A and B are shown apart, each in its own frame.
Chain A
Amino acid sequence: MTAPIRTPPGLLRSTWLVLRKDWLIEWRTRARLTALIFFALSTLLLFSFAMGPDITMLRVHAPGYLWLAILFASTLSLGESFRVESENQAMVGLVLAPVEPRAIFLGKVAGNTSLLFGLSLVLLPVSVALYDVDLSRNFGMLLLVLLLGCIGISAPGTVYSAISSNARARDVMLPLLLFPVLVPMLLAAVSATKFALVADPQQQLSSWVKLLTAFDLIYLSVGFLLFPRVVEED
C-alpha cells in the first residue's frame, strides 16, 4: 500500500498559510504591533509640537501627518517582516518547503497591509483627539482610502524589503529605495483622506481613490512578477 501523493497547496492556499504564519509570529510576541503603535503615536505628537498649537492649521494638515506617521512606521514593519525570515535561514526553508515565491509575496503583502491597517485604525481616534478632525463625514470612504493606502505601501515595500534585508545598512536602504516610489501613493492618499474628512465641493475624492487603486494594482502585479526572481537567489 503506497502513501497517497500529496499535491502541493495552490496559490491562494499557500498565501493564506504564509499570512497565518506571519500573524502567528506576530501574535506570539505582539512586539512589532506595540512598537509600531507607539512609534506612530510619538510621530503624531511630534508633528503637533513642531507646528505649534494652532488647532485650525493642525486640522487642515491632519491627513498629511497621519500618512507620514503611517509611512515612517511602515519602514519598521516592512523591515521586520523580512528580518524574521533571515533568522535561521527561514526564507530558504520557506522556498524549499516548497512555497511558491508568489504566494510568499502575496502573504507578506497581506500581512503588512493588515498590520498597517490595524495601526491606522488606532491612529484615527488619536488624530481626533490631537487635531480635532471630523471622522463622521464620510467614514466608509475614509476606511477604504486607509486600506488602499496601506496596500500601496506594502506592495512595493515587500519587494524592496526582501531586496534590502540582506544589504549592508538595510535600515537606511529600505526608505532610500522605497520613498521615491511612494510619492504618488502619498499624494493620492493624503488628498483622498483630506476630501473624506472635509467638504469636497468639486467631487475630487473619487479620482484620487482611482489613482490609489491604479497604483496598488500596478505594484501588486509588478511585485507578483518580480518577486520570484528576487528570492530565488537565496
Chain B
Amino acid sequence: MPYWAPWVLLALVALLSIVHLAVPSTRAWVWKVLAGLGVAMIAGLLYLGLVWAPQEAFMSDVGRILYIHVPYVWACMLAFTVNVGAAIAYLFKKSWVTDAIAEASAEVGVYFGAIGVLQGSIWARPTWGVWWDWDPRLIATTVMLLSYVGYLTFRSFTEDAERRATWSAAAGILGYVSLPIVWFSVRWWNSLHQVQSNASTLDKPMRVVLTWGEATFFAFLFVFIYLRYRIARSRQTSALELPPIDAPTGATAS
C-alpha cells in the first residue's frame, strides 16, 4: 500500500465534512457517503492493523490496539473541543443550533472516550498486568469523562430549555478549562511513569495504519455528531414550537 493513501483518506473525510458544513443542499447525502466510506475503511483497517502492520517489538500483537485506541481518544477530545466551541458560540449568539451541536458533541465524545478508556484497560491487563494503573493519561481521561457525564446528566435534569442551554454552556466551558489543569496536576502528582510514545516514536508502517484509523473514526465522529444533532434539533422544535394552529383540539390536549 502506498504510504500516502491514509493521508488522502483523511483529506477526503475532512473535505466531505467541510462540504457538508458549507453547502446546505448537500446535507441530505454527504453524511451517507461519509458513513459508507467509514464502513469501507473499517474493513481496510482490520486488514491493515491485524495482518499488514508489523508486530510491535515489545508488546507483540497486543500493541495492535494502538490503531483503534488512539483514534478513539483523539475523536473524543475533538468532540469535546467542538462542544466548548459551541458553548462559547451559544453564550454570544444564543442560537439553538449551537446548543444542539454542544449536546450532540458531548454525548458522542463521551461514547468515544468511554470506549477508548475501556480499550486502554484491556490493553493494560496483558501489558502492565493490571486493569487499572495510576497513569496520568488514564486518570486525566477518566476525570474528563466524569466531567462530561456530569454535563449530560445536568442537561437531562434541567427542564427549562433556555436555562439549560445557558447553564450547560457555562458548565461545558468550566469543564473544558479544567482539562489541561487536570492533565498537568495528575502528571505532576505521579511523575514516575514511562515516557509517552507519540507519532515520532512509531515505525513508518505503523504510523500509516494509525493515520488510516484516524481517518476512519473521524468520519464516524462527524456522522455520529450530525445524526445526534438532528435528534437534538427535532427535540428542540417539538419542545419550543407551538402545535399547528389547525390541529384538532382533542389531539393537543391528550
Those of B49-94 within 8 Å (CB) of chain A: 91
Q: Is B178 close to A, CB under 8 A?
A: yes
How many Å from the CB of B239 to the closest CB on chain A? 16
Interface of B is mostly: helix
A interface residues, how many (CB within 8 angstroms): 32
A-B contact count (CB 8 A): 95
The listed residue with most A CB atoms (<10 A of its CB), out of B149, B170, B184, is B170
Query: Are A180 and B175 touching (Cβ within 8 A)?
Result: yes
The reply to whether A173 and B174 form a contact with Cβ atoms under 8 Å apart is no
Shortest C-beta distance, B205 to chain A (Å), equals 38
Quick check: B153 and A222 within 8 Å, CB to CB? no
Q: How large is the interface on B (under 10, 10 to 19, 20 to 34, 35 or more residues)?
A: 20 to 34
| A164 within 8 Å of B (CB atoms) | yes
Beta-carbon contact of B170 and A226 below 8 Å: yes
A183-B185, A187-B189 given; A160·B158 CB < 8 A: no
Select which of B149, B153, B163, B173 is within 8 A of A166 by beta carbon.
Answer: B163
- In chain B, what residue has the closest Cβ to A155? B174
Q: Looking at the complex, which one of B163, B182, B184 makes contact with A233 (CB distance below 8 Å)?
A: B163
* CB of A126, distance to nearest CB on chain B (Å): 26
- Assess whether B186 is interfacial by the CB under 8 Å rule: yes
Chain B residues with a Cβ under 8 A of chain A: 91, 143-144, 146-147, 149-151, 153-154, 157-160, 162-163, 166-167, 169-171, 173-175, 177-178, 181-182, 184-186, 188-189
Task: Supply 5 further A-B pairs (C-beta < 8 A) apart from A188-B185, A218-B181, A229-B170.
Answer: A156-B174, A173-B157, A183-B182, A187-B186, A214-B181
